[in-house]
């Protein structure tokens, strides 16, 4: 990865720093450079907003999963239907 000089970074580097920032892995200067980049780059602002939404959704505890019995029933029904076409 290219190390940029100064405060201006490429969009690719900004996206990488955005990802690191979402998971609290970005350093102070990385966050400063990202903030400066987001001031003038609309595409990266949108990427950052979408990234934040995705992180928020993933961290929600309201994820409902199928229990094991339902999965097995669904699998057997799927296999049964597939045998009709083979």
Comparing CA positions, the residue from 61, 40, 38, 63 lying closest to residue 51 is: 38
- Domain residue ranges in the chain: 11-84
The distance from CA 2 to its chain's CA centroid, rounded to whole angstroms, is: 23
pLDDT at residue 43, as a whole number: 96
pLDDT at residue 78, as a whole number: 94
Helices (H), 1-86: 11-22, 28-40, 42-59, 68-84
User: pTM of the predicted model, to two decimals?
Assistant: 0.62
Rounded Cα–Cα distance for residues 19 and 55 (Å):
10
Residue 4 has pLDDT above 90, yes or no: no
DSSP state letter for 3: P
Q: Locate tokens 């959704």: which residue?
A: 57
How confident is residue 1, by pLDDT bands cut at 50, 70 and 90?
very low
Share of residues in the chain with pLDDT > 70 (%): 92
pLDDT at residue 63, as a whole number: 66
Query: What average pLDDT score do residues 1-17 get?
Result: 78
Q: Locate tokens 């992180």: which residue?
A: 55
């Amino acid at each position: 990865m290219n190390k940029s000089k100064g405060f201006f970074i490429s969009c690719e580097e900004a996206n990488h720093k955005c990802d690191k920032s979402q998971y609290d892995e970005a350093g102070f200067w990385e966050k400063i450079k990202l903030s400066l980049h987001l001031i003038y780059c609309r595409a990266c602002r949108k990427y950052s907003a979408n990234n934040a939404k995705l992180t928020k959704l993933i961290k929600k505890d309201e994820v409902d999963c199928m229990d094991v019995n339902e999965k097995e029933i669904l699998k057997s029904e799927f296999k049964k239907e597939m045998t009709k076409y083979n």
